[in-house]
Amino acid sequence: MASKNEIILGIDPGFGRVGFGVIEKTKKNEWQYLTYGCITTNAKDKFVDRLEEIYEAINFLIKKYKPGRMAVEELFFTKNVTTGIEVGQARGVILLAGAQAKLLIDEFTPPQIKQAITGYGRADKPQMQKMVATILGIKEKIKSDDAADALAVALCAGQSLWHKNTK
């Protein structure tokens, strides 16, 4: 059951850019954002160094915000297999950081996330960004698609908790 101060770290995995969003349940049983943004790695760095940078940044977020749960988007396979493998490796590093911190970890597919946020599993990016901003009361446009996606992943986990607790 979600506690009064439930905090969820949402992750949109990547290796060039990792979107993150941290949300917290308020006393009014609503979600508010604590922070969001992107972890960006330099394409000129060795891949293993980029993975280490992602790992360290995720650990920093976990230590700073103390989430009880991490929600990570599952991979959506594209035509570029090499990119998919590299994103998969970055995703593994992210999941490892969460597991080592003893977080509960939820994984959601893109259609599951879209369904939870908009009620339509094939919603487009602008629809998703608008709903995420509306739900969290964010007035300005979320500049990074990756950060908006990470907030959506966190909200999907929050919705999932609500559904589990109402059954």
Structural domain boundaries in the chain: 7-165
112: its two tokens:
């599951």
pLDDT band at 165 (very low <50, low <70, confident <90, very high): low
Give catalytic status of residue 12 as yes or no: yes
Task: Give the mean pLDDT of 39-54.
Answer: 98
Taking Cα atoms as reference points, which of 118, 107, 110, 82 lies closest to residue 157? 107
pLDDT digits (tens, 9 = 90+) for 78-116: 667 778 889 999 999 999 999 999 999 999 999 999 999
Within 10 Å of residue 137's Cβ, how many Cβ atoms?
Answer: 10
Please pick, among 6, 24, 53, 73, the residue that the annotation labels catalytic.
73
Name the least confident of 22-31, 72-81, 150-159.
72-81
73 is catalytic: yes
Q: What is the CA radius of gyration of the chain?
A: 15
pLDDT of residue 79: 66
Q: Is 146 one of the annotated active-site residues of the chain?
A: yes
What is 7-165's CATH superfamily? Ribonuclease H-like superfamily/Ribonuclease H (3.30.420.10)
For residue 41, give Cα distances in angstroms to 44, 47, 68: 9, 9, 26
From 12, 24, 53, 149, active-site residue: 12
Residue appearing with tokens 């506690």: 3
Dihedral of alpha carbons 103, 129, 137, 121, sign: negative
Active-site option among 6, 24, 53, 146: 146
